[in-house]
Structure 1
Amino acid sequence: MLKQLLGVIDAAANHEDLQELLLHRPVAALPFAGRYRLIDFALSSMVNSGIGSVAVFPRGSYRSLMDHLGSGKNWDLNRKRDGLFFFPPMEVKDNDFRGTGCFAHFAENLDFFYRSTQEYTLVSNSYTVINDDLRTMLDTHQKYGCDITEVYKNGKALNIYLLKTSLLIDLIENREDTGYRSLDDVIDDFSSPYTSCRFEYKGYAEQVDSIKSYYKISMDLLNPTVWHTLFKKEQPVFTKVKDEPPSHYYKGSSVKRALLANGCKVRGEVENSIISRGVSIGQEAIIRNSIIMQKSQIGENCILESVILDKDVKVEPGTILIGSPQNPIVIGKGSVVQPTAAKASSLLAL
């Protein structure tokens, strides 16, 4: 049944409240949960539901996203027929990128939709952390004769849509006449001629659209109930595979209530934190309530609390960084943090 579905991921979102983490990447490529990127959740949900043709529509700074997705092999989408497609924009104006599913962006690749044989199209954003079952959604859509079905969680719209491919093509082609720039516009227009339905999703679903939400949702994963609700054995979340050795916990180290990816070297103390691949933590260092991204190096006798370190950050020995859950300290990719600068940052956070 799900061979009727075409997958489309809108990876063009650019949340202002996330800019500190989006200087070198789109939100779709934002590292999450130690070894994943945000796009992995929408993409894995589609693949686990039997969708074999997925198109990704990014915007700017998409090199890291291309590197992550590659040929689609890790999602079984490197196929001769259908598979993974990547469509960067060419001449789309900035003000056309409003809402989920930019019709002007889709119009540049209209031939892709014409060639698709799937009767229905699922359009998803790239920043919703969800591991859903699309079969029930399609059943509901067909049962009630809906034109467009949108996914909701606890009454909140998740900007994930299901509609016939022919209707999507019609909306793209007639965007100048209707004034609709995206699927959000269609749903928000109460005078729209289309029948819209709500699909209330029962599982775990959260949207990352700010530093605060990114930090909170990441910390929620340390709750085993939340983790097992999102990461299901029968419906895994796929990501780019990297061959690295297991993490090494040296004598005297301590790790409590934390997620650690492979390739880490831990000599200090880690508590209630998420540590990505290849991170080095020095002796007597203390990491609490923090998110440490790939290949960051934390020196000896450092104290980090409520901190988000982007990739490849080097924290010099003796540095103290103390933020708060409401206002975590964010250190940009590739930064070198000296003890004197760190004390000023800690005071500002307080």
Structure 2
Amino acid sequence: MNKDMLGIIDATTVHKGLEELTIHRSVAAIPFGGRYRLIDFILSNMVNSDIQSVGIFSKYQYRSLMDHLGSGRNWDLNRKRDGLFFFPSTSFDKPVTGIGPFEDFAANIDFFKRSSQKYALVANSYTVFNMDFRTVLEEHINNDHEITEVRKDGAPLGIYLLKKDLLIDLIETRQDTGYLSMKDVVNDLNAPYKVGYFSYEGFAIMIDSINSYFEASKRLLQPEIWQRLFVKGRPILTKVKDEPPARYTSSSSVHNAMIANGCYIEGVVENSIIARGVTIGKGSVVKNSIIMQKTKIGENCYLDHVILDKDVKIADGTELMGEEGNPYVIRKGRVQGVWKN
């Protein structure tokens, strides 16, 4: 029996609650955990589930996403047969509120028809989790479901499994049925399909707002969450960057933090995630914060409950403070204070 799955990642979704982080990038490309992007989790889960062909559908600000994915080599998807396929949208109409935009799929229907896989897994690009989809497929087949929706604690995770031929039919009949996405099909109580639900018991959190992003990031600092998310044998893969190890001076102090490669730390870091290539000056204190790639923090600064996007510069003596449930966000490339080179 052909149990091969075709991976479909919907990277078209727009979340208004994430606007501060999506001015120059899509939701799928938001940095996470110091060295990853949000799309790395679903893409790695697919690869670890023996999915060898993945189509990524995007719509807005997708340049950084394309740069991150490249040929798919870091996920072993740079293949002569199957592999990674990227489909930018040709339509920029009002976004569909549901995973799996059939209009975008229809514009690339040949991709689906030429694929040899029997089943299709349609998923969002912004859920942080680690899952083996082969267990979903087994339950889908054993229960003779036509569509299986993955849920966590009874709530949908925006992940659907169905036969590829059924997906093609749903795409081609969208104007007759009125279904615009997989969510529309599953939520229609009168739909003529046998829908089942797979209950996922592991750690999972959907990133759809600044607060959910901040909360998910903080939870990475808990060892039990880290162990549930980064599972031996099912690695979360990402774009490889060759950088030197982080450097710590005698004036530095780090407690309960994640520090990526290429950082230079002279100050104090507590309960924070520091991405690649960040510098933190002498006398500065960074607490309960997320600092993204290549940001420069000067001397004698104080940052608490702050999210600094990439390439931000914080001048000497600057104080920035957010609060629980409302972190202070500075957009990519901004300069705070009078920066002296």
Q: TM-score, normalised by structure 2?
A: 0.98
Identical amino acids, percent of aligned pairs: 58
Q: What secondary structure is seen at the aligned counterpart in 1 of 2:283?
A: coil
Aligned to 1:348: none
Aligned to 2:82: 82
User: How many residue pairs align between the two structures?
Assistant: 339
Aligned to 1:91: 91
**Residues 283 and 299, structure 2, Cα contact 8 Å, conserved in 1:** yes
Cα distance in 1 between the residues matched to 2:274 and 2:133 = 31
Unaligned runs of 5+ in 2: none
* Structure 1 or 2: more helix by fraction: 1
Shift of 1:170: 0.1
**Residues 59 and 92, structure 2, Cα contact 8 Å, conserved in 1:** no
**Residues 320 and 339, structure 1, Cα contact 8 Å, conserved in 2:** no
Shift of 1:93: 2.8
Q: What secondary structure is seen at the aligned counterpart in 2 of 1:87?
A: strand
Aligned to 2:120: 121
**Residues 2 and 50, structure 1, Cα contact 8 Å, conserved in 2:** no
**Letter aligned with residue 70 of structure 2:** G
Cα distance in 1 between the residues matched to 2:233 and 2:329 = 35
Q: Is 312-321 or 330-339 further displaced after alignment?
A: 330-339
Cα distance in 1 between the residues matched to 2:207 and 2:90 = 27
Cα distance in 2 between the residues matched to 1:285 and 1:93 = 46
**Residues 256 and 272, structure 1, Cα contact 8 Å, conserved in 2:** yes
Aligned to 1:183: 182
Cα distance in 2 between the residues matched to 1:212 and 1:14 = 16
Q: What secondary structure is seen at the aligned counterpart in 2 of 1:106?
A: helix
After TM superposition, where is structure 1 displaced by more than 3 Å over at least 4 residues in a row? none
Aligned to 1:345: none
Aligned to 2:337: 338
Give the direction of change, closer, same or farther, for the CA distance of 1:4–1:329 in structure 2 (3 Å limit).
Answer: same
Q: What are the Cα deviations for residues 281-300 of structure 1, in whole angstroms up to 9, with x where unaligned?
A: 00000000000000000000
Q: TM-score, normalised by structure 1?
A: 0.95
Aligned to 1:228: 227
**Residues 2 and 49, structure 1, Cα contact 8 Å, conserved in 2:** no
**Residues 215 and 325, structure 1, Cα contact 8 Å, conserved in 2:** no
Aligned to 1:248: 247
1:30-41 equivalent positions in 2, closer than 5 A: 30-41=30-41
Q: What are the Cα deviations for residues 45-93 of structure 1, in whole angstroms up to 9, with x where unaligned?
A: 0000110000000111100000000000000000000000000111353
1:194-233 equivalent positions in 2, closer than 5 A: 194-233=193-232
Structure 1 residue 165 and structure 2 residue 170: aligned?
Answer: no
Q: What secondary structure is seen at the aligned counterpart in 1 of 2:88?
A: coil
Cα distance in 2 between the residues matched to 1:12 and 1:200 = 25
Structure 1 residue 275 and structure 2 residue 274: aligned?
Answer: yes
Structure 1 residue 100 and structure 2 residue 102: aligned?
Answer: no
Aligned to 1:6: 6
Give the direction of change, closer, same or farther, for the CA distance of 1:214–1:242 in structure 2 (3 Å limit).
Answer: same
**Residues 2 and 118, structure 2, Cα contact 8 Å, conserved in 1:** no
**Letter aligned with residue 151 of structure 1:** V
**Letter aligned with residue 182 of structure 1:** S
Q: What secondary structure is seen at the aligned counterpart in 1 of 2:158?
A: strand
Cα distance in 2 between the residues matched to 1:309 and 1:91 = 32
Cα distance in 1 between the residues matched to 2:326 and 2:97 = 28
Shift of 1:98: 2.4
Aligned to 1:60: 60
RMSD of aligned C-alpha atoms? 1.2
